């Protein structure tokens, strides 16, 4: 009898063992195992990692990436880094999305947190970096790291915080920039205005409208040319986002609830329409690069990234327009226009770096080491100096080398180009006035929608269409549909609280428990009967 019981119990155990993986296998069957930091980095093995990088169509930036790779490979000869270059974050995003489904993501990728939130729709796709950052051996400032790694405390806290999605860090900041308003100060004064240290929106609109005055021959009075677009905004996404933030208007919750379609947005769009209609305002998508117009004396307020500063001004070292089109004027760099000059608010932007998970955790560790190498002083300072970027580590910002660079503003029109260093200082001095928008799966779409509304309104009034309440209502519906904002999950990226179990799941679990209880009772009954017979 005992043999029979043992057989039955064994049968149940076998069944349990067989069914357990079946059940557990239902979730995350295609996923890579969650990353755990290895105790040691196995340098006896060779690793080949891919790095998808973004440059601003700037050869110097490419050179710095290449130098960083060489420097890293010299320290870690068992690691080969293959770089693929992009000049567009959107293209990287699309390629990553495509490669997630085929399991061919890069190891290390320059990206934006908004994009990472979408990458994270699959389990264990992107590596959470908290354990890596804190690892005593290989983390930031770790004892076994072969380069002068900054400690976590030496990364600018505001920038590091931007890489938190849900409750974990999913990226390291690489470079940071903000937007600046590059101003033709000469024209502002010619129009009879004094340029304030902090621009207000009212000031920019007023001067822009004043600049639309024409001579009898059709040329503009302020520049004597046939072309003048006083105010051009490069990124209308940022324009709407910053206006709403400054106004205290709703945009979204951190959980992903879309709140942008409100009366504040409506009022802002009416203002945009008013000035687009007169021709005082335009956008990059409608008219082309603000720098081309600014440098040619055809624009007074050009808003673009501080990372585009080398294209701005009478003596800009980089330009797409021919030398004969440049006009002489004084360029001033100011924060983006504000509604409340006492409490300026500006966007924080710039590339971050994320790591994609792989089955081989040693490979992931190699990726991490390369990623943290990008935060070393040499890489940070060299890259930051290519444009109006700020290094993301206090360690780099506080070096004598970097401070010397900043102090030599205007010494030449290349490395020490005054407009570029002014733009950099703008961010360094306003880091505590920067903000980022909430990151969730779909936040990238919401950002696109924010800009699209300005683009649509500007285009419509230029095309002599009426922008009124009915138009705005329809616009809200259009962009909601266009960017699928009505189907965005109202849960933040990362592991969100999914709430109570649905009733069907509860019933299923109850059924499972009941069946196993019945099995147990049967076994016990059988055992008791056998004992009795014995």
Partner 1 sequence: MKKKLAMALALTLVLAATGCAGGSSKPAEEPAEEAVEEAAEETEEAEAEAPAEEEAAAEVAVMSHEEYMAAAVDDEVCIETYVQATQSWWEDKITVYAASEDGAYFIYNMACSEEDAAKLTPGTGIRVTGYKAEWSGEIEIAEGATFEFIDGEYVAEATDVTDLLGKDELIDHQNELVSFTDMTIEPIQDADGNEAAYLYNWDGSGEEGSDLYFNVSKDGQTYQFTVESYLTGPGTEVYEAVKGLNVGDTVDLTGFLYWYEGANPHITSVTVK
Binding site for partner 1 (CB under 8 A): 15, 19, 22-23, 26-27, 30-31, 55, 57-63, 84-85, 87, 94, 97-98, 100-101, 118, 121-123, 125, 285-289, 292, 320-322, 325, 441, 445, 456, 459-460, 462-465, 474, 478, 481-484, 487-489, 491, 496, 498, 502, 504-505, 508, 511-512, 515, 518-519, 522
DSSP for residue 332: E
Q: How far is the CB of 104 from partner 1 (least distance, A)?
A: 12
Q: How far is the CB of 121 from partner 1 (least distance, A)?
A: 4
Instruction: List CB contacts of 378: < 8 A, sequence separation 6 or more.
Output: 68, 71
C-alpha to C-alpha distance for 42 and 426, rounded to whole angstroms:
44
Kindly tell me which of 132 and 467 has the beta carbon lying closer to partner 1.
Answer: 467
Q: How far is the CB of 97 from partner 1 (least distance, A)?
A: 5
Kindly tell me which of 91 and 161 has the beta carbon lying closer to partner 1.
Answer: 91
C-alpha to C-alpha distance for 100 and 381, rounded to whole angstroms:
33
Q: How far is the CB of 126 from partner 1 (least distance, A)?
A: 11
Instruction: Single out the residue of 72, 156, 224 nearest to residue 430, CA to CA.
Output: 156
Q: How far is the CB of 448 from partner 1 (least distance, A)?
A: 8
In contact, 377 and 365? CB cutoff 8 Å: no
Q: How far is the CB of 255 from partner 1 (least distance, A)?
A: 11
Kindly tell me which of 248 and 520 has the beta carbon lying closer to partner 1.
Answer: 520
In terms of phi and psi (left: phi > 0; alpha: psi -120 to 50; beta: otherwise), the region of 499 is left
Kindly tell me which of 108 and 396 has the beta carbon lying closer to partner 1.
Answer: 108
Kindly tell me which of 100 and 240 has the beta carbon lying closer to partner 1.
Answer: 100
Q: How far is the CB of 23 from partner 1 (least distance, A)?
A: 5
Q: How far is the CB of 240 from partner 1 (least distance, A)?
A: 18
Q: Would you call 6 helix, strand, or coil by DSSP?
A: helix
Q: How many residues does the chain have?
A: 534
The Cβ of residue 334 has, within 10 Å, a number of other Cβ atoms equal to: 21
Sign of CA dihedral 463, 464, 465, 468: positive
Kindly tell me which of 134 and 529 has the beta carbon lying closer to partner 1.
Answer: 529
Residue 482 CA neighbour count, 13 Å, CB half: 17
Q: How far is CA 428 from CA 195, 378, 382, 502, in A?
A: 22, 19, 16, 50
Kindly tell me which of 232 and 346 has the beta carbon lying closer to partner 1.
Answer: 232
Q: How far is the CB of 143 from partner 1 (least distance, A)?
A: 36
Kindly tell me which of 418 and 455 has the beta carbon lying closer to partner 1.
Answer: 455
Q: Would you call 120 helix, strand, or coil by DSSP?
A: coil
The Cβ of residue 259 has, within 10 Å, a number of other Cβ atoms equal to: 14
Instruction: Single out the residue of 510, 224, 182 nearest to residue 335, CA to CA.
Output: 182
Q: How far is the CB of 19 from partner 1 (least distance, A)?
A: 6
Radius of gyration for the chain, computed over Cα atoms and rounded to the nearest angstrom: 29
Sign of CA dihedral 425, 431, 434, 435: positive
Q: How far is the CB of 486 from partner 1 (least distance, A)?
A: 12
Kindly tell me which of 54 and 395 has the beta carbon lying closer to partner 1.
Answer: 54
Kindly tell me which of 28 and 77 has the beta carbon lying closer to partner 1.
Answer: 28
The Cβ of residue 343 has, within 10 Å, a number of other Cβ atoms equal to: 9
| Cα-Cα end-to-end distance for the chain | 8
C-alpha to C-alpha distance for 351 and 110, rounded to whole angstroms:
6
Kindly tell me which of 1 and 134 has the beta carbon lying closer to partner 1.
Answer: 1
C-alpha to C-alpha distance for 94 and 83, rounded to whole angstroms:
17
Reported as type and span, the H/E element at residue 283 is: strand 281-283
């Amino acid at each position: 009898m005992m043999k029979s019981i043992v057989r039955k119990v064994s049968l149940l155990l076998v069944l349990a063992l067989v069914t357990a993986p079946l059940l557990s296998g239902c979730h995350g069957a295609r996923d890579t195992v969650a990353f755990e930091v290895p105790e040691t980095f196995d340098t006896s093995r060779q690793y080949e990692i891919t790095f998808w990088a973004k440059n601003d169509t700037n050869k110097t930036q490419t050179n710095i990436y290449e130098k960083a790779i060489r420097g890293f490979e010299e320290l870690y000869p068992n690691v080969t880094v293959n770089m693929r270059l992009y000049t567009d974050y959107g293209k990287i995003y699309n390629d990553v999305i495509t490669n997630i489904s085929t399991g061919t993501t890069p190891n290390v990728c320059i990206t934006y947190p908004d994009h990472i939130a979408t990458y994270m729709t699959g389990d264990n796709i992107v590596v959470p970096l908290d354990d890596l950052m804190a690892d005593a051996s290989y983390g930031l400032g770790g004892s076994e790291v072969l380069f002068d790694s900054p400690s976590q405390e030496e990364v600018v806290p505001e920038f590091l915080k931007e890489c938190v999605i849900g409750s974990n860090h999913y990226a390291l900041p690489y470079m940071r920039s903000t937007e600046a308003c590059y101003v033709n100060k000469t024209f502002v004064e010619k129009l009879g205005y004094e340029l304030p240290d902090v621009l207000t929106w009212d000031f920019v609109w007023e001067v822009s409208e004043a600049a639309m005055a024409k001579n009898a021959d059709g040329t503009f009075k302020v520049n004597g040319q046939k072309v003048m677009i006083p105010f051009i905004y490069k990124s209308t996404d940022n324009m709407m986002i910053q206006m709403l933030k400054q106004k205290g208007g709703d945009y979204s919750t951190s959980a992903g609830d879309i709140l942008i379609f409100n009366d504040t947005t409506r009022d802002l769009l009416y203002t945009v329409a008013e000035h687009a209609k007169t021709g005082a305002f335009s956008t990059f998508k409608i008219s082309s690069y603000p720098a081309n117009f600014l440098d040619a004396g055809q624009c007074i307020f050009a808003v673009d990234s501080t990372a585009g500063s080398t294209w701005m001004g009478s003596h800009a070292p980089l330009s797409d327009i021919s030398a004969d089109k440049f006009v002489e004027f004084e360029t001033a760099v100011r924060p983006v226009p504000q509604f409340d000059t006492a409490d300026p608010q500006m966007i924080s932007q710039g590339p971050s770096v994320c790591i994609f998970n792989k089955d081989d955790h040693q490979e992931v560790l190699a990726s991490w080491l390369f990623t943290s190498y990008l935060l070393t002083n040499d890489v940070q300072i060299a890259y930051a100096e290519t444009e109006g970027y700020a290094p993301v580590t206090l360690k780099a910002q506080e070096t004598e080398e970097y401070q010397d660079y900043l102090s030599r503003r205007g010494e030449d029109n290349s490395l020490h180009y005054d407009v570029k260093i002014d733009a950099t200082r703008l961010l360094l001095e306003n880091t505590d006035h920067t903000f980022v928008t909430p990151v969730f799966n779909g936040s990238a779409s919401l950002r696109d929608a924010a800009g699209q509304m300005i683009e649509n309104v500007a285009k419509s009034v230029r095309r002599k269409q009426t922008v009124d309440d009915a138009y705005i209502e329809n616009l809200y519906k259009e962009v909601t549909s266009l960017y699928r904002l009505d189907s965005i999950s109202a849960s933040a990226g990362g592991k969100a609280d999914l709430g109570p179990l649905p009733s069907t799941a509860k019933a299923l679990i109850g059924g499972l428990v009941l069946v196993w209880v019945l099995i147990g009772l049967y076994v016990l009954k059988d055992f008791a009967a056998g004992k009795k017979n014995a």
